[in-house]
Amino acid sequence: MKVRYELIHKDKKTGARYGKLIFTSSDGSTQEYETPMFMPVGTQATVKTLSPEQVKATNPGIILANTYHLWLRPTPEIIEKAGGLHKFMNWNGPILTDSGGYQVFSLARNKKKDITEEGVHFKSEIDGKKLFLTPEKSIEIQNMLDSDIAMSFDECPPASADYNYLKNSVERTLRWAKRGKKVHKNKNQNLFGIVQGGPYEDLRRFSAKETVKIGFDGYAIGGVANDDECKDDMYKAIEFSNPYLPEDKVRYLMGVGEPVDLIEGVKRGVDIFDCVSPTRLARHGNALVPGLRKTEKGEPKENRLNLKNARFKDDFAPIDETCDCYACKNYTKAYVHHLMRCDEAFGATLLSIHNIRFLISLTEKMREAIKNDEFEEFISNFYSLK
Amino acid sequence: MKVRYELIHKDKKTGARYGKLIFTSSDGSTQEYETPMFMPVGTQATVKTLSPEQVKATNPGIILANTYHLWLRPTPEIIEKAGGLHKFMNWNGPILTDSGGYQVFSLARNKKKDITEEGVHFKSEIDGKKLFLTPEKSIEIQNMLDSDIAMSFDECPPASADYNYLKNSVERTLRWAKRGKKVHKNKNQNLFGIVQGGPYEDLRRFSAKETVKIGFDGYAIGGVANDDECKDDMYKAIEFSNPYLPEDKVRYLMGVGEPVDLIEGVKRGVDIFDCVSPTRLARHGNALVPGLRKTEKGEPKENRLNLKNARFKDDFAPIDETCDCYACKNYTKAYVHHLMRCDEAFGATLLSIHNIRFLISLTEKMREAIKNDEFEEFISNFYSLK
């Protein structure tokens, strides 16, 4: 489905954007989804522990799938033969695939890999087979997967990379973006470009301007480390990139899914987010709940309960009294605690539903606040929650 | 809910029973379910990998939960505080709990345990704690769980037990049944008796007659080993017990769930069955499919596909073309293969849905055949399927 972004309203004080993504199928039918949006991640063509119906019930827009994982298993050839990713995984809503770059650079962070101008040589984590991912290959795979949004293949440098490394990397990523766009063949698929440049204003500006010159259907801000050490760098990356991105295209902050970061991202003009955290937290027994806690450095961080904790064994209240998700409407903390203690899969299912809905619900509240020009109050309320 | 069984029709040639279980709540509302019936098992207050809605979609009647497991975790005290098992696990249909006896005797088969007239001393498999299960304790736990059907606490002797062992065991089981009935307090809960006696006609007759004299809301045939070695013993156990059970009470063959055994059980007058096999097979990647295969001894056995097998990687047909389950209507073998290869939980979910629906669908077909006095033809068609 081809996509266009419609900016509907900007919050008067912060400039936070409320908008819409309108997807048009080849048969002319459309699907509309509001932004800010949080996209659940279905790494291997399944949102872990959930059926598509359970995902749908959280009211998502786009979901994500990972090109790297699907390239290795089941292979793009199989998914193409199946009639594309939507049919393969029984998902009729929009799907975004990443480029595979992030996984190549991060999963293989400590393994030998060889980055050349042509692409990246590395070994499969599954069977040790030698693999070579190039901008052309990434786009070719995504074309075959037939996702609705494909991402350009970019270099994701380590957080420790210095200015000179990043400068070279930004330039290479631009050359890779051009090469990818050139071979992009799937007419029903959108292609997004990615802005890199670490925390450096000049690099982000250069990367954003040049990426926009190449011309894409949407723009992502990449290379933001999603950990407590680098919050400031993440905010800088957004602030230094966004002024150079066109207002009429959607802006996607890749791999970010902490409540605080969704708020701070939207405040700085981001429209869409994705993160594996809600399902990963769930599998470890954690539920996102309202309020904030502090990191050791005193920074605000998402509030969570670990349902494995013995104190929940006779807690017959829902995970979150204020939540409207299937888990909170039908089950108690005591039940989820029991399931997690017994390693019953349905425990992770319930927590995944809750955590995904928690983040999506947060985006819904942000939309309302922006529409009413009350986003600043929304943020201050958010931070004042115990 | 109190239950009564209504025998609606007996197949003219085989005597196989088609009937109804009518459950009446304390508020007077009723739920009706047809028999023959296969009951999915929710050992730890969850049918493994499934939501209650996914279970419901397979069209089950009663589901099972295990007293032994729930005794250890989360404990009957917690479930009672939660408002009973139905509320705890969000299941408004009928629930049957076993007595815990089978688990004490089988899970601890190779561990030290001490069977006395009073009850069984053994150690918890979770933390090694010393435990003591008696007929009174079993009923007390089940009263607290507030299932709709409680089972008497019986001794489940090993398949290797000789005549004298079984004779003593049958007599003790009768004494235990009386003790259990005496302390059964939950007025909304039914209590079923269990016939034991191995493959011996006189022991089964004695056990059945004496159990009926005590008087229960339904009768189970226990101690039938669900493995290929003992098919004849299982059939004998049914044939030697059923003539002495009242026609107006439901007959339950415990722990049996192979398609062949459902057919052979119904032919011999059994109404309800349960087994963990559909969900256990699923977690190992196996799907039940029509037709039969042969054991090494040449006996017919259920047909199955292992979806992990590489030959399914590009098989874009459903698991079973003739099946009406959610998995078969929406997904391909290739997708399930992919999920199982990647250890994605949704693979086991899809296979569990299919396998449970497969057995329930088999009982639905048997009902139709019995109603039409065509059960003999049904059986011969069943065995002729390749």
Q: Closest Cα to residue B337, out of B323, B327, B329?
A: B327
**Domains in chain B, number:** 2
The reply to whether B289 and B236 lie within a common domain is no
Question: Taking 70 as the threshold, does the pLDDT of residue A108 lie above it?
Answer: no
Name the A residues in 64-103 with CB < 8 Å from any B CB.
Answer: 69, 73-74, 78, 81-83, 88-90
**Among this protein's residues, is B217 annotated catalytic?**
no
Residue B225 counted as domain residue: yes
To 10 degrees, what angle do helices B201-214 and B163-183 make?
Answer: 10
Domain boundary among A282, A312, A329: A282
**In the structure, what pLDDT confidence band is assigned to residue A386 with cuts at 50, 70 and 90?**
low
Domain boundary among A282, A306, A321: A282
Average pLDDT, integer, range A56-73? 97
Q: Which of B73, B90, B313 sits opposite A342 (nearest CB)?
A: B73
Average pLDDT, integer, range A32-61? 98
pLDDT of residue A123: 87
CA–CA dist A356, A276 (Å, integer): 10
- Tell me the three state secondary structure of residue B152: coil
Q: Which residues of B touch A338 (CB under 8 A)?
A: 44-45, 73-74, 78
The reply to whether A22 and A42 lie within a common domain is yes
Q: Which residue of B has its CA nearest to A78?
A: B314
**Among this protein's residues, is A98 annotated catalytic?**
yes
Please indicate whether, in this complex, the C-beta atoms of B341 and A50 are within 8 angstroms of each other. no
* Contact criterion met (CB below 8 Å) for B141 and B71: yes
- Tell me the three state secondary structure of residue B41: strand
CA–CA dist A133, A131 (Å, integer): 7
Instruction: Choose, out of A342, A351, A353, A354, the residue to mutate when testing the contact with B (most B CBs < 10 Å).
Output: A342
The reply to whether A257 and A309 lie within a common domain is no
Q: Which of B81, B89, B338 sits opposite A45 (nearest CB)?
A: B338
Q: Which of B45, B51, B332 sits opposite A349 (nearest CB)?
A: B51
Instruction: Choose, out of A53, A56, A346, A352, the residue to mutate when testing the contact with B (most B CBs < 10 Å).
Output: A346
Question: What is the number of CB-based contacts under 8 A between chain A and chain B?
Answer: 95
CA–CA dist B254, A240 (Å, integer): 68
* Contact criterion met (CB below 8 Å) for A219 and A209: no
Residue B260 counted as domain residue: no
The reply to whether A268 and A347 lie within a common domain is no
Q: Does A316 touch chain B (CB under 8 A)?
A: yes
CA distances from B300 to A224, B29, B227, B304, B386 (A): 60, 43, 12, 12, 11
Please indicate whether, in this complex, the C-beta atoms of A335 and B89 are within 8 angstroms of each other. yes
pLDDT of residue B158: 84
CA distances from A146 to A86, A97, A184, B258 (A): 8, 9, 11, 42
The pLDDT tens digits for A307-335 are: 999 999 999 999 999 999 999 999 999 99
pLDDT of residue B126: 86
The reply to whether A274 and A288 lie within a common domain is no
pLDDT of residue B103: 87
Q: Which of B48, B81, B337 sits opposite A316 (nearest CB)?
A: B81
Q: Say yes or no: ipTM exceeds 0.90.
A: yes
Q: Which residues of A touch B346 (CB under 8 A)?
A: 46, 48-51
CA distances from B171 to A326, B167, B177, B222 (A): 49, 6, 10, 14
The reply to whether B237 and B287 lie within a common domain is no
Residue B20 counted as domain residue: no
The reply to whether B329 and B228 lie within a common domain is no
DSSP state of A41: B
Residue B221 counted as domain residue: yes
DSSP E strand boundaries for chain A: 2-10, 17-24, 30-35, 37-39, 63-65, 95-97, 114-115, 120-123, 130-133, 149-151, 190-195, 218-221, 250-253, 272-274, 286-294, 300-306
The pLDDT tens digits for B102-147 are: 888 876 555 678 899 999 998 888 888 999 999 999 999 999 999 9
A350's tokens: 């319930």
Cβ contacts of B129 within 8 Å, gap of 6 or more: B123
The reply to whether A242 and A348 lie within a common domain is no
DSSP state of B183: H
CA–CA dist A7, B346 (Å, integer): 37
DSSP state of B302: E
Q: Which domain holds residue A346?
A: 283-384
pTM: 0.98
* Contact criterion met (CB below 8 Å) for A143 and A185: yes
pLDDT of residue A158: 84
Question: Taking 70 as the threshold, does the pLDDT of residue B229 lie above it?
Answer: no
Task: Provide the H-helix boundaries in A35-190.
Answer: 52-56, 67-72, 76-81, 85-89, 101-106, 135-145, 163-183
DSSP state of B189: -
Q: Does A348 touch chain B (CB under 8 A)?
A: yes
Q: Which residues of B touch A50 (CB under 8 A)?
A: 346
